[in-house]
Structure 1
Amino acid sequence: MNYKIDELDRGIIKLLSNDGRMSFTELAARLNVTEKTIRLRYKSLLDKEILDVVGVVNPIALGLKAGAIIQLKVKSKSISTVIEKLRNLKLIRYITLTTGEYPILVQITVEDQDQITKVLHDINQMEEVTGVNTIVQLEVYKNTFDYLL
């Protein structure tokens, strides 16, 4: 499913990336098209799974002030097993498969260092994990959802 977006689609996505609550009327005015056109394009972007509308949480406002990136080495042929176990750990918010020495990378955003330690203990209980490299985040300077250049 390879849908090519045009400039109007890009405009809608870019404006909604900056303000997800922008009305169809305002989108239409800013992009010089009718509101009906915006509604149809918006629905098409959703239907084609190019656009997903979600509320983005400010973790600091919720008291989540500590974060870490954790890289994992795993036993041969156990990547899928480890990923499934990681999915069940509530404090892990992001899991990705990477290249290199540590094929799995996870990210956590938690209340404090104690919760980072808890996640590390939980990971350490997984017999398939053979190595862990933890990078504690001290400060986040950019976190964007604008994927269009």
Structure 2
Amino acid sequence: MNGQIDDLDRGIIKCLSSDGRMSFTEIATQLNVTEKTIRSRYKNLIDHEILQVVGVVNPTAIGVKAGAIIELKVELVSLEKVIEDLKALREVRFITTTSGKYQLITQIAVPAQDDLSTSFKRIRNIQGIVEMNSIIQLQVYKNTFQYI
């Protein structure tokens, strides 16, 4: 499949992005195809790791009310190790390599503003990090998992 999807696949993904519990029958009705077609396409999307069905948590509802985006300048020889160390931290929810001054950007989410400084210290202590720039999130206006 190689990342190639057609309009029907996009329609299935869009339906499930708005309601992950939508039945195959309802999707088939909306997309004007048979349930068997939806079931087959769904399986194909899952098998090729294009679609993953997971429960998405509302962080505020479970007490996670503070967050930050952290830019990290890293010694290039330590990049992989730094990434692995960041992955091990529970509060880290996103890591990406980037171009420019900082090699990594990570996002953290914690219960309260006071917890941010503890997380910053833990990250700052990771061997191979040369510089850290923190951007504290004040208010989130959009957080979506819809890509289509």
Give 3-state SS (helix, strand or coil) of 2:77's partner: coil
Task: Map 1:83-122 onto structure 2 (within 5 A).
Answer: 83-122=83-122
Q: Report Cα offsets for 1:63-106 as digits up to 9, x if no partner.
A: 11101001111124111111111111111111111111111111
User: Contact 2:82 / 2:127 at 8 angstroms: preserved in 1?
Assistant: no
In the alignment, residue 45 of structure 1 is paired with which amino acid?
L
Shift, 1:20, TM fit: 0.5
Task: Map 1:4-15 onto structure 2 (within 5 A).
Answer: 4-15=4-15
CA distance, structure 1, for counterparts of residue 127 and residue 2 of structure 2: 40
Tell me the TM-score normalized by structure 2.
0.95
Shift, 1:18, TM fit: 0.5
Over 3 Å counting, the alpha-carbon distance change for 1:94 and 1:26 in structure 2 is: same
Is 1:36–2:43 an aligned residue pair?
A: no
- Kindly tell me the number of residue pairs found equivalent between the two proteins: 148
Shift, 1:124, TM fit: 1.7
Match in the other structure for 1:135: 135
Identical counterparts, % of pairs: 58
Tell me the TM-score normalized by structure 1.
0.95
Q: Which runs of 5+ in 1 are unaligned?
A: none
CA distance, structure 2, for counterparts of residue 33 and residue 117 of structure 1: 53
Give 3-state SS (helix, strand or coil) of 1:15's partner: helix
CA distance, structure 2, for counterparts of residue 17 and residue 145 of structure 1: 7
Give me the CA root mean square deviation.
1.1
